[in-house]
Structure formats: C-alpha cells, structure tokens
Amino acid sequence: MALPPQLKSIQHHLRTAQEHEKRDPVVAYYCRLYAMQTGMKLDSKTPECRKFLVKLMDQLETMKKELSDSESISQEIVGNAHIENYAIKMFLYADNEDRSGRFHKNMIKSFYTASLLFDVLSVFGELSEENIQHRKYARWKATYIHNCLKNGETPQ
C-alpha cells in the first residue's frame, strides 16, 4: 500500500521492518510499532492516512499473534533489550569498519539502520543521553561517509 505523503518520515522505519521480516521479526515488529505511533501523531485524520494506519495496525496485530511465543513481543521490557542490543551491534560493526578505514555501502547502511533503531527505542520511553548521542553520531557518519564516497573523497 502506498505511503501517504504526510507519513513520509516513517518510510525508512517501515523499510527497515520489511528488511527484517525474516531475519529478525522482533525488529520488524517494533519498527512497525514505532511507525504506527509516529504515524498517528503525524496524521490519523485524513482518510488516506487513516486507511494506511488501519492496515498497519492489522499487520501489527497479526504479527503479535504469530510471535506470541517470543518474550521479546509479549514483554516489552525484553523487547526493549532486544532492540537496544541489535542497534548497538549494528553501530559497533559500522564503527569498527570506520576506525579500520574500511568504507563501503554496507557500513553506511549499518550506521543508518542503527540510527533508525535508536528512534524505535523511543516506543519504550525516553531515550538515554547515551542513545541520543549514538543516534546523532550514527546518522551524521552515514551521511558524511555516503557523501565522501559519492564525491570520490576519502573520509577522515
């Protein structure tokens, strides 16, 4: 289903959900939950957004049933730890590549995905100062390295 333009800012979180559907359904579930909550704040009044959000809610309810055996879904505190560990793992992989001078598409994507997952952590409550800093750094690094590679420059 096409994403209404009013909900454009959740498109990357929804794409991350799609990419993790098989690899890590818990990540997919919480990315969609974040998109749902954010989408409702952005616009849940216009018919096109309501329609989109109702579909997304249907999908979340189905996923919750299918994943009911997973404690990361039935207990949000476990889910919180799962998403935080995953985000930090992504961040550390990209950071390690960065510090070793290995710049490539995969590490840019890891930095960016980590930053999106730090956004997702906000469904569990206010982000810690450390996670806010990690998110800022990961997003900046992803943009910076992407631009360097695009312009044929070596990142510093």
Partner 1 sequence: TGSVGTSVASAEQDELSQRLAKLRDQV
Q: Is 42 in the site for partner 1 (CB under 8 A)?
A: no
Q: What is the DSSP string of the chain?
A: -PPPGGGGGGHHHHHHHHHHTTT-HHHHHHHHHHHHHHHHHH-SSSHHHHHHHHHHHHHHHHHHHHTTT-HHHH-HHHHHHHHHHHHHHHHHHHHHHHHTT---HHHHHHHHHHHHHHHHGGGGSSPPHHHHHHHHHHHHHHHHHHHHHHTTPPP-
Q: Which stretch binds partner 1 (CB under 8 A): 59-67, 84-92, 95-103, 111-119?
A: 59-67
Distance CA 135, CA 129 (A): 10
Interaction of residue 38 with partner 1, rule CB under 8 A: no
Does 78 sit near partner 1 (CB under 8 A)? no
Which residue number, 127 or 148, has a Cβ lying nearer to partner 1? 127
Question: Which residue in the set 3, 35, 36, 145 belongs to the binding site for partner 1 (CB under 8 A)?
Answer: 36
Minimum CB separation of residue 23 from partner 1 in Å reads 23
Establish if 57 lies at the interface with partner 1 (CB under 8 A): yes
By CB under 8 A, tell whether 28 contacts partner 1. no
Which of residues 6, 38, 44, 122 is near partner 1 by CB under 8 A?
A: 44
Residues near partner 1 (CB under 8 A) are: 33, 36-37, 40, 44-45, 50, 53-54, 57, 60-61, 64, 76
